[in-house]
Amino acid sequence: MVTGAGSGIGRAVAVELLRAGWSVALAGRRPEPLQETAARVPGAASLAVRADVSRPADVAALFAATVERFGRVDLLFNNAGTFGPGGVPVEDLSYDAWRHVVDVNLDGAFLCAQAAYRQMKEQDPQGGRIINNGSISAHAPRPHSVAYTATKHALTGLTKSLSLDGRPYRIAVGQIDIGNAATDMTAGMQTGALQANGEVVPEPVMDVADVARTVRHMAELPLEANVQFATVLATTMPFVGRG
């Protein structure tokens, strides 16, 4: 299962998995982009399910439809997320905007992980894998990104707790932290991104397909092995070093 599968990293990962022979449930809020993702790999075993991951009823229906179609859940790529309003100072960020980012990035990840955990614990053979999509912001923030950064730091705690609690049930949980993958959401970085010193500087990006291949590698490990944390980023992006 891939959440946020209608665009960007979610679409790239879903396509990579479908091409590798996985059966993939594609989850997202809009059916049309999900159908477009499925059409990238004609004849592959895909299931498009409209779901808002911040709503418990939608998540329950998503997992029910997936199990009904495929019989089990071996992998959840917990990818759905939002940056929220960009460039808004903390003192000006509305509570509604904060709440929306938390609802999608953190609550949605928890709800999907919880549903996957329940299914993986009970299915036979038992177990499965959850990969949470963190961010470079799980390590270091950008200016004016308080809601996004807070949720991505929280995802690291979610990953660690799920990984620990999943041990008795052969549930492996890891996290991929991604920096500057070339998607519609990051298009503006190539023209200029606000830096810690107040300058606006163009930043390099990497091919999103390289992210997808990394997720596939994590996904295809035996359950006895786990990539707990992976960081994949554009080599020369301004992350490692002084801001």
Please tell me the distance from the alpha carbon of residue 171 to that of residue 155, in angstroms, as a whole number.
17
234/25 Cα distance (integer angstroms): 29
Q: Which tokens sit at 216? A: 């596939």
Q: Which is nearest to 134 in space by CA: 162, 175, 104?
A: 175
Task: Report the distance separating Cα 163 and Cα 226, nearest Å.
Answer: 10
Catalytic residue among 95, 117, 148, 169: 148
| 117 classed as catalytic | no
Structural contact between residues 125 and 73, judged by C-beta atoms closer than 8 angstroms: no
Question: What are the backbone dihedrals phi and psi of residue 233, each rounded to the nearest 5 degrees, phi first?
Answer: -150, 160
**Contact by Cβ (8 Å): 34, 62:** no
CA distance 149 to 146: 5
Q: Give the tokens for residue 87.
A: 């460039």
Alpha helices of the chain — where are they, by DSSP H?
8-19, 31-39, 56-70, 95-102, 108-122, 146-166, 208-219
By annotation, the residues acting in catalysis are: 148
